[in-house]
Amino acid sequence: MKTLHNLSCFLLLIILSCTIAHNSYAQTSHKHKKAVGAAKKLTYKDSIKLETMVSLDTEAVAYKNNKTTYAEVVKFTLKIANNCGAGIPDPVAYKGAKYVKLYINGHLHNPKALFDETEDITDKDKVIMPGQSQTFYCDWLKSSRSILQRKYGKKFTIQFAYINIRSPKVLVELSKLKFNK
């Protein structure tokens, strides 16, 4: 009887040792996977470069009696350069708002439309391939009656975000803006 008791205690001790060893290995392995995953994510994000520019432009706003009326607009431009090993989503192909956000004075204010300045007719794959870049823009009327000036004044900051990567902030002073050449 004593031998049976010793044997059951010995088996219980082995089972507990195996369980403890397995749990500590699993925790170490999980931490390692988490660290490797974080490093991959950081590398991927560091491989996508964003550049923000602001300029003045003109846009046709009305066509009446064979005459086109133009207005000054503030043009917010985002250039996305893909330096990572895989293609990344083209924001215009996905209606922009899914991947691109615009922050004015730190507050989210998404553009109603995002236009692709560099897209050619043969671009149908909906991705920005490795080593390529694309330029996108949105514009707002410069008029003092526009929402842009009424809400933010003549001096504000803008910043784009693309798949949770933020571009550097740009200070905009409407009185100092120049026309794009």
State whether 69 and 153 are in the same domain.
yes
Residues 105, 157: contact at Cβ < 8 Å?
yes
User: CA-to-CA distance for 177 and 164, rounded, in angstroms?
Assistant: 28
152 close to 104: Cβ distance less than 8 angstroms: yes
Residue 169: the pLDDT is 95
| In a domain? residue 181 | no
Total domain count, the chain: 2
Q: Which domain holds residue 169?
A: 48-176
Residue 27's pLDDT is 47
Same domain, residue pair 32 and 85: no
160 and 102 in one domain? yes
Q: Quick one: which H or E segment has residue 101?
A: strand 100-104
Q: For position 122, what pLDDT does the model report?
A: 52
Contacts of 28 (CB under 8 A, 6+ apart): none
Q: How many CB atoms lie within 10 A of CB 133?
A: 15
Residues of the chain with pLDDT under 70: 1-45, 93-97, 118-125, 180-181
> pLDDT by residue (tens digit) across 49-91?
999 999 988 888 788 888 888 888 889 999 999 998 888 888 8
* Pair (150, 166) in one structural domain: yes
